[in-house]
A and B are shown apart, each in its own frame.
Chain A
Amino acid sequence: MNFTRRETLAVSGAALAASVLPLNLMASTPDLISGITGGAEASSTGISLTAPEIAENGNTVPISIDAPGAVAITVLAAGNPTPGVAKFNFGSGSGSQSCSTRIRLAGTQDVIAVAEMADGSFSAAHQTVKVTIGGCGG
């Protein structure tokens, strides 16, 4: 096998980027959750996060969250340039503590939902979404 200089550079460059980039960009899921809860332990029950396993287009990924008894739900995307996605505050007129929306994902990553319950405790759920085409431009 004979590689030209150009091919060698391209292959090694791509391999290097693939190995280094996810490590640098991905904030870890437990760190993000404790950033919301202020270090408190988050239980894994009482909240459900529905997201597709594979999203073809990272520009619109439908997600829905359901957390009965929550006063607020924060959604985070661990692998986005800025992890924050949205914060839902539920008022007295809400019929259920659930919401559906569409979000942008830069690449394959964890989507995290952290619910703050009325008694001050926290619940968290996360799901990995595989993204075929990233949705952050550039």
Chain B
Amino acid sequence: MAKGVKPRVKVPKTAAAGETITIKTLISHKMETGRRKDGDGNVIPRSIINRFTCDFNGNSVVDVNMEPAISVNPYFQFEATVPEAGEFTFTWYDDDGSVYEKKKAIKLA
């Protein structure tokens, strides 16, 4: 497991039924591309988060396949519709098999 991985998510606490809300996510991760070399000229092995998904009550909102060209601390901003009260599940999949998960509940206003 990569060190210092911390997911952060910004979701409004309430929304009107059917409203479109903006979600911002950021996860601290060094996103090693596998192209850099250390001081001795050895290639530093690739270690990135290769997939990110967001679900709302089991329905997919967005599913992102990521390549090494995504910057350090991957940041995503996207929009979701909220038909009912429920819970957003955010999941990040690491190259080393680790899975990082964060949940955010939202109420109807």
Contact = CB atoms under 8 A, between A and B. Distances in A.
B69 A94 contact: no
Nearest to B79: A95
Interface of A: 59-61, 64, 77, 80-82, 84-96, 98-105, 135-138
A103 B74 CA distance: 9
Contacts of A96: 20, 78-79
Given A60-B72, A104-B70, A93 B80 contact: yes
B2 interface: no
Contact of A102 (B35, B57, B64, B75): B75
Given A93-B55, A136-B35, A101 B68 contact: no
Given A86-B66, A96-B79, A91 B71 contact: no
B76 A93 contact: no
A104 B66 CA distance: 12
Given A82-B68, A99-B62, A101-B71, 9 more contacts: A60-B71, A89-B60, A93-B80, A94-B62, A94-B79, A95-B78, A95-B80, A96-B20, A101-B70
Contact of B79 (A84, A98, A105, A137): A98
A60 B75 CA distance: 10
A45 to B, nearest CB: 21
B71 A102 contact: yes
Choose among B20, B59, B69 the residue with the greatest number of A CB atoms under 10 Å from its CB.
Answer: B69
Nearest to B25: A101
B33 to A, nearest CB: 6
